[in-house]
Amino acid sequence: MEDRHKVAVYCRFHDDDKIKNTGNYLQMFPEHVINRIKKAKEVYTRITASHPDSEYTRIIFFGQESIEPLKQYGKSIGLPDEKIDLDDCSDIATMVKKLWNSVRNNNVPPRVYFVASNWQWVFLDPLISIKDDRYRFYFEGAVDERHPDEIEMDKKMEKVAKIDLKESRLGSMLDKVGGSVSENMKG
């Protein structure tokens, strides 16, 4: 069964922000990562309330550390365990490549909702702005109240996500032209 909605949560954080071994999730992880999980919960709730095919929704936590405890936190705030997957990534570009490879050949390309800190949209903008009817990418920004110096350090570790759409765009244009010719011939 192919997913029709994917919520990709960017959970990578600085090496300085090591997972703290406490029983309190809010103390285990940096606040900006917790805010992303909360935003993913909002997105998931919105999808299940507004789409009749919401049972085909998947939530993926991407991170560089052992993020199993984040899955436990997601479950504690109401995300269904069976819908959460974990994946490894070192940066936003790696997350995007993994998602692109998982959706580009689907029979029913899903809507992909990227959840990251509100300032990280610039790294996803080339993907979000794709004008191809077969793919739908969205950005959901979470609050990141860290000091600007910390955010600047994170910015230096990221690079703009790029994917190769050359074949897809050509195929899409041919599909549109073929559809238009077919419509004109009908009538």
What's at 93, amino acid-wise? A
The answer to the question of residue 173 being in a domain is no
pLDDT tens readout for residues 20-46: 666 677 777 889 999 999 999 999 999
Predicted confidence at residue 17, as pLDDT, reads: 54
The answer to the question of residue 72 being in a domain is yes
What integer best gives the mean pLDDT of the chain? Answer: 81
The answer to the question of residue 179 being in a domain is no
Q: How many domains does the chain have?
A: 1
Q: In whole angstroms, what is the distance from residue 46 CA to residue 115 CA?
A: 14
The answer to the question of residue 150 being in a domain is yes
Query: Are 66 and 72 in contact, with CB atoms under 8 Å apart?
Result: no
Query: Are 67 and 11 in contact, with CB atoms under 8 Å apart?
Result: yes
Q: In whole angstroms, what is the distance from residue 135 CA to residue 90 CA?
A: 24
The answer to the question of residue 183 being in a domain is no
**DSSP reduced 3-state for 112:** strand
Predicted confidence at residue 103, as pLDDT, reads: 83
The answer to the question of residue 75 being in a domain is yes
For residues 146-159, give the mean pLDDT.
91
pLDDT tens readout for residues 70-104: 888 999 999 999 999 999 998 999 999 898 888 88
Predicted confidence at residue 130, as pLDDT, reads: 77
Domain range for 70 is: 5-162
The answer to the question of residue 177 being in a domain is no
Predicted confidence at residue 182, as pLDDT, reads: 42
Question: Is 52's pLDDT higher than 60?
Answer: yes
CA within 13 Å, CB half, 165: 18
The answer to the question of residue 169 being in a domain is no
